[in-house]
Structure 1
Amino acid sequence: MAKTARNFRSSCITLNPSFFVQLLAISPFSTPKKNSRNRSPRNLNLLFFLSLFILCTFSGICILSFYAISQTPAPCSVISPISSFSPFLMASLSSILKDYPKISGPTLSTSVMVPLPARGVPSNANVSEIERDFWNQPNGEGYRPCLDFSLDYRKSSAKVSKERRKFLVVVVSGGLNQQRNQIVDAVVIARILESVLVVPVLQVNRIWGDESEFSDLFDLEHFKKTLQADVRIVTSLPSTHLVPQQSIENQLPFHVSPAWIRAKFLHQLNEEGLLILKGLDSRLSKNLPPDLQKLRCKVAFHALKFATPIQELGNQIARRMWIEGPYIALHLRMEKDVWVRTGCLTGLGPQYDNIISNERNSNPDFLTDKLNITKTARRLAGLCPLSALEVARLLKALGAPRNAHIYIAGGEPFGGAHALQPLVHEFPKIATKEILAREGELDPYINRPSVLAAIDYIVSLSSDVFLPSHGGNMGRAMQGHRAYVGHRKYIKPNKRMMLPLMEDGSITEGEFGKIMQKLHKYSKGQPLLRNKKLDRDVLAYPVPECMCKQ
């Protein structure tokens, strides 16, 4: 405010001071000179109106100068690393750039999902060096959130946010994190086409049967207000656009560019005022112009806030883990449908493997990748989830102590307690949302897998260490989100390198540990630049488009 006031004063004193002397000299409010009686009334009236005109013009110039200064966008601003719930944290968050044009609603600083602070181990704790290193957080190399949209983007926002004629409807599918990705791309496509976005329709998943709508999972009003400077969002189509037998476009190729989207759909939108898209999953190019990449981050990390009841319950469960000390979040992909889709052996024995084979044979379209390789080759290529035993060995090798608290995210593992037994044997302090929830807290969501996945997301985001047993949307989302809110440690298992070593009986546990630590040295949360390798998802690698150095 002080800076604005100084700019205001400087903008109003650039005129020559003698101008004011002359103005006062001819003003009718100044003391008349002795010879003024010789002037005619007509001349006095002329002087009065002339001085009034000059005063009004001068006032108008000052007002316009002040308005222009107040609208000048601030430079790139940042979020400081999340280390504690302190005034410094909140002051840092509040410094984030408010979007342009200035519209009432949540700012980026208040909309970001803030995890609980990392606990780590006290400096005076009697622990080994390898254990201390396991809990240490990466420094992030100075990268902080920085959504500095270009001037051209901000100028065009006024037009896009007022669109009233062209509407985009998007149908999204899959699990929670797959839906999140498609919602992000839906917003970006609406921006590319300068159209109104109707709140995305969530298709019922054929595996989980979850019938949740957008507002059941996400805070709809927060979503609309956070993005109101980028895209106009409405809850439903106007009656004038309810076209019967409207065709649905579901044949998009992979990696489509903004130019392709405009060439393909802009004419239809201008003519009909309506476009319905389905099957967006991974169709939009990962390499978009910088402003659209920033928009992706804004949607994923700021606008897609979970509905209040889900967010509050997730926070409560996270605090119950956090209060016990530092904890690890494991995303174990051991559900029945995962084994069916990946075409892998469960590691639980022939009885369980036969069940999966029969399921896969009856639903051959479930198998998602590389149909022509054997199950063994598939595993050694890193295409299979890690088993509970493999996860336990990796954690031990990386320095996780036996008394570490572990939160398991994911659905019910195929094989139940038997499947988790090797992990429980090595790390007995294991918890799930079902264990941590108090009586009745999860009852409203028993048949809502997407809500349960959202709770896992919230608890995992606050963990000191996150490790996925398999790739996928949850792992990529957590990798980028944890970097964005303070570079929380994220360990990505190098399955191709570690699995052959696990089967080599000649390697001792000590040697195996040293190899694993060296193998994962650069996979513990340090920021990786997306532009070092094209086609990386900016939501998993937000540097440098969405994060900058200060």
Structure 2
Amino acid sequence: MMVPSITRPGLLATPPGKPRPFQQAQAHKTPQRKVRIAIGVVIALLLLSAFLWQWEAALLKRFLEAPRYLQRQKYADRRIVSPPDLWDDPINEEGWVPCLERDPGYRKPVHMGKYASFYLDGGLGQQAWELCYGVVLARLLNVTMILPSLTVDPYWKDPTPFEAIFNISHFVETLRDDILTVNVTELPPELQDAETTWYRDFWGVWKGAPEVYLRDALPLFQNNTVVQFVSMWQSLDDDTLSAEQLKLACRAKFEALRFSDPILDLGNNLLKRMRQRARGPFLAVHLRFEEDMLAHSGCVYWGGVEEQERWAEMRRKREWPVPTKSDFELRDHGKCPPSPEEIGTWLQGLGFDSSTRIYMAAGKLYDEKRAMAPFYAMFPHVFTKDMLVTSKEAAYMRGKSNIRAAVDMHVLVNADVTALTFEGMMGEIVQGHRKWLGHKKTMKAPAFGFNKFGGSDMGSLSLGNNTWEFFSHEMRGWTYMEAGDGAPMRRQDRSWSEALFANPLPDCMCSKARNNRTATDSTNQ
């Protein structure tokens, strides 16, 4: 028996084979729902991908930083003690200040129709050194100085002109009562070509006395209008100069020789940015670990036979002397540039910890990745000029080694504390200028002491059976020995006689306290 279909009141029966109304609505909504579901799935996948990417990036970062983490663990047990005066300038009880007044009756220069040209070579520090000695010689010989051009060093190949590095007008004006100067373009036309035969060369005398130049160089001007002085590095012995000549050398170096305005502006910007990052004082480190520096030293590092053969070839091409002492002897006498690990350990021994903000002034370092890994583990907050400059400032420095060196020198001179890691003219100039500015704290690494803590690799340190406290005590003692922190000390009172440009005391500085005592004694008499 067939059961009749029942239809609710108000509803029409749906013909067989035709979808009911709610089925029609469901069918209409199905594409929209699929779109929403698809969008939701895509969003979920994107969120999951982002999470996984961050997770993988964190793992990758941890993996890449694993060597540095392991290095940090290596140095983690060092109990670094920062003395309360770590950032303070040395005590200047005598009140030493610059004093360069000319004596009464000081003779002004007179043009005699003779010119001296000075061929400057080496790095920026050496060229500045040679130029200031040239000022002393120009006055001694009573000749007009031809303003020099900076040498295009065969290693750096930097053609930056003299006037782009130094403020010429300031140099000329400051020395106008001492010497006469002339630009090469102001010479008579027949004297403007340095390749012609009228340029008579005179080779500088190593640590020569003024009498030597009066005897050997002055007669050359009788038959030559221009004499070119070459190889002027260490061409005068400071200890043979008169008081007037010493003051003139200081006047040339510390007052007349000023960087150009663009370099000063850039250097001051870097000083400001470093103090902003440090939120207080910062440490500037002059790290000497460039490959040419290591090759010149004749010392052995971790590169093996290949390294030594390459450096021997570099010495041959640049006509550097062949090493005659063993690596041990060189290290024992402090003649090997300390490695970044040695410098970092030394700084920790002095009391600088991992929170210290460091400005690193250095050229292209030897085997940089390996060399700097220990240093970064000890001091993670390291900045260079390339990290601090704007794109416009970077373009200004690009390919100009002398400008880059000048910017570093300005920061090193004006930093709160400066650490000098190895001997050299730039380091000595920085040290001398910081003394000139008020004996600002300047630490000098005791390179001779690192050999007593030599590790398994050349350039590494191993405390051996010594405690960290013993190492720290030794490093501080060696550093502060003979005013190694920049404190006032006569340059002649050390175990060796320092260069004038590295220490202008007492030749170019006066003691305010001593003068006050003298004045008081005179009054009481």
Corresponding position of 1:442: 394
Residue 482 of structure 1 and its aligned partner are, at CA, apart by 0.2
Corresponding position of 2:353: 401
Q: Distance in 2 between matches of 1:530 and 1:297?
A: 14
Question: Is the aligned partner of 1:518 residue 2:477?
Answer: yes
1:196 maps to which of 130, 139, 144:
144
Corresponding position of 2:456: none
Q: Distance in 1 between matches of 2:502 and 2:160?
A: 26
Question: Is the aligned partner of 1:337 residue 2:285?
Answer: no
Unaligned 5+ segments in structure 1 are 1-127
Residue 367 of structure 1 and its aligned partner are, at CA, apart by 7.3
SS in 2 for 1:441: helix
Report the more deviating stretch, 363-372 or 409-418. 363-372
Report the more deviating stretch, 502-511 or 316-325. 502-511
Q: Residues 378-389 of structure 1: matches in 2 within 5 Å?
A: 378-389=330-341
Corresponding position of 2:172: 224
Corresponding position of 1:530: 491
Corresponding position of 2:326: 374
Residue 149 of structure 1 and its aligned partner are, at CA, apart by 2.5
Q: Distance in 2 between matches of 1:389 and 1:144?
A: 37
Corresponding position of 2:373: 421
Residue 250 of structure 1 and its aligned partner are, at CA, apart by 4.3
SS in 1 for 2:402: helix
Corresponding position of 2:73: none
Residue 130 of structure 1 and its aligned partner are, at CA, apart by 3.2
Corresponding position of 1:506: 465
Q: Distance in 1 between matches of 2:463 and 2:139?
A: 53
Question: Residue 342 of structure 1 contacts residue 367 of structure 1 at CA under 8 Å; is this kept in 2?
Answer: no
Residue 513 of structure 1 and its aligned partner are, at CA, apart by 0.9
1:313 is matched by which residue type in structure 2? L
Q: Distance in 2 between matches of 1:356 and 1:304?
A: 39
Write the deviation string for residues 299-358 of structure 1: whole angstroms up to 9, x where unpaired. 1111111111111111111111123221111111111211111122334x54xx623532
Q: Residues 306-321 of structure 1: matches in 2 within 5 Å?
A: 306-321=259-274
Residue 376 of structure 1 and its aligned partner are, at CA, apart by 2.8
SS in 1 for 2:228: strand
1:239 is matched by which residue type in structure 2? P
Q: Distance in 2 between matches of 1:460 and 1:213?
A: 23
Q: Distance in 2 between matches of 1:474 and 1:543?
A: 18
Q: Distance in 2 between matches of 1:302 and 1:184?
A: 11
Question: Residue 490 of structure 2 contacts residue 506 of structure 2 at CA under 8 Å; is this kept in 1?
Answer: yes
Change (3 A) 1:269 1:548: same
Residue 368 of structure 1 and its aligned partner are, at CA, apart by 4.4
Question: Residue 413 of structure 2 contacts residue 431 of structure 2 at CA under 8 Å; is this kept in 1?
Answer: no
Residue 247 of structure 1 and its aligned partner are, at CA, apart by 4.4
Report the more deviating stretch, 312-321 or 439-448. 439-448
Q: Distance in 1 between matches of 2:215 and 2:389?
A: 51
Q: Distance in 2 between matches of 1:467 and 1:357?
A: 32
Unaligned 5+ segments in structure 2 are 1-79, 454-460, 513-525
Corresponding position of 2:254: 301
Q: Distance in 2 between matches of 1:402 and 1:208?
A: 34
Residue 131 of structure 1 and its aligned partner are, at CA, apart by 3.5
Question: Is the aligned partner of 1:214 residue 2:175?
Answer: no
Question: Residue 491 of structure 2 contacts residue 499 of structure 2 at CA under 8 Å; is this kept in 1?
Answer: yes
Q: Distance in 2 between matches of 1:382 and 1:365?
A: 25
Question: Is the aligned partner of 1:346 residue 2:301?
Answer: yes
Report the more deviating stretch, 380-389 or 269-278. 269-278
Residue 260 of structure 1 and its aligned partner are, at CA, apart by 1.4
2:284 is matched by which residue type in structure 1? A
Residue 486 of structure 1 and its aligned partner are, at CA, apart by 1.3
1:327 maps to which of 266, 282, 292:
282
Question: Is the aligned partner of 1:483 residue 2:442?
Answer: no
1:277 is matched by which residue type in structure 2? F
Residue identity over aligned pairs, in percent, reads 27
Corresponding position of 1:140: 92
Q: Distance in 1 between matches of 2:373 and 2:111?
A: 57
Question: Residue 198 of structure 2 contacts residue 224 of structure 2 at CA under 8 Å; is this kept in 1?
Answer: no
Question: Is the aligned partner of 1:284 residue 2:232?
Answer: no
Residue 504 of structure 1 and its aligned partner are, at CA, apart by 5.0
Q: Distance in 2 between matches of 1:401 and 1:242?
A: 56
Corresponding position of 2:188: 238
Question: Residue 315 of structure 2 contacts residue 321 of structure 2 at CA under 8 Å; is this kept in 1?
Answer: no
Q: Distance in 2 between matches of 1:543 and 1:178?
A: 21
TM-score by length of 2: 0.75
Q: Residues 44-55 of structure 1: matches in 2 within 5 Å?
A: none
Q: Distance in 2 between matches of 1:338 and 1:547?
A: 33
Question: Residue 188 of structure 1 contacts residue 292 of structure 1 at CA under 8 Å; is this kept in 2?
Answer: yes
2:274 is matched by which residue type in structure 1? M
Q: Residues 48-87 of structure 1: matches in 2 within 5 Å?
A: none
Corresponding position of 2:501: 539
SS in 2 for 1:401: coil
Change (3 A) 1:441 1:298: same
Write the deviation string for residues 164-223 of structure 1: whole angstroms up to 9, x where unpaired. 511111110011101000110111110101111010132210110111221121111111
Structure with max Cα Rg: 2
Corresponding position of 2:344: 392
Q: Distance in 2 between matches of 1:188 and 1:129?
A: 47
Residue 292 of structure 1 and its aligned partner are, at CA, apart by 1.0
SS in 2 for 1:249: strand
Question: Residue 146 of structure 1 contacts residue 547 of structure 1 at CA under 8 Å; is this kept in 2?
Answer: yes
Question: Residue 339 of structure 1 contacts residue 356 of structure 1 at CA under 8 Å; is this kept in 2?
Answer: no
Report the more deviating stretch, 170-179 or 259-268. 259-268
Alpha carbon RMSD of aligned pairs, Å?
Answer: 2.2
Question: Residue 208 of structure 1 contacts residue 449 of structure 1 at CA under 8 Å; is this kept in 2?
Answer: yes
